[in-house]
Amino acid sequence: MSKELETIISIAGYPGLFKLLAQTKGGFVAESLQDQKRVTVPLRAKVSMLSEIAVYTLEKEMPLLEVFKLIYDKEGGKQASTSPKAAKIDLEAYFFEVLPNYDEDRVYASDIKKVLSWYNLLLSKKLLSFKKETTKEEEAAKGEEA
């Protein structure tokens, strides 16, 4: 996971995602990932770190970055095959493919739209890269081949 993702935030009332740049006396400065415009955000603004956002499942809350990984694996590292602007039924069908146990009573179509648009944005900015972790068995097999 990219170290840069630790500085990515969502700001209530502002579309898209932002990169946290600097702290000021009365808040902080952030830069839009979409158009690189800088905004000054007051301390009282509702801000969420991307790493702290989770999606409700029937068992627990799944961190958003894990959901991104599931989408990344499903799409083979490409953009989401379903548009964030798709119909509600299509969004829900896609999300069931990615995360079959998501809580459909607490995760709305608007949430799915955000997840898909954020995923596509982060992927286009090359901020999502999931390295395949090798298991001990795979490492042992590689050692035997050598």
Span 74-123, pLDDT tens digits: 999 999 999 999 999 999 999 999 999 999 999 999 999 999 999 999 99
Distance CA 139, CA 13 (A): 47
Pairing of strands 18-24, 8-11: antiparallel
pLDDT at 132 over 70: no
Distance CA 78, CA 75 (A): 5
> What 3-state DSSP class applies to 98?
helix
For the chain, residues classed under CATH 2.30.30 are 3-49
pTM to 2 decimal places? 0.85
For the chain, residues classed under CATH 1.10.10.1650 are 53-124
Distance CA 78, CA 58 (A): 27
Mean pLDDT calculated for residue range 46-52: 93
In the chain, % of residues over pLDDT 90: 81
Instruction: Report the topology of domain 3-49.
Output: SH3 type barrels. (2.30.30)
Task: Please measure the distance between the N-terminal and C-terminal CA atoms of the chain and give it in whole angstroms.
Answer: 29
Mean pLDDT calculated for residue range 28-50: 94
Number of H helices, E strands in the chain: 4, 7
pLDDT digits (tens, 9 = 90+) for 8-24: 999 999 999 999 999 99
pLDDT of residue 139: 55
Written out in words, the top-level CATH class of the domain with range 53-124 is: mainly alpha
Residue 30 exposed, middle or buried by CB count within 10 Å (0-12, 13-18, 19+) = buried
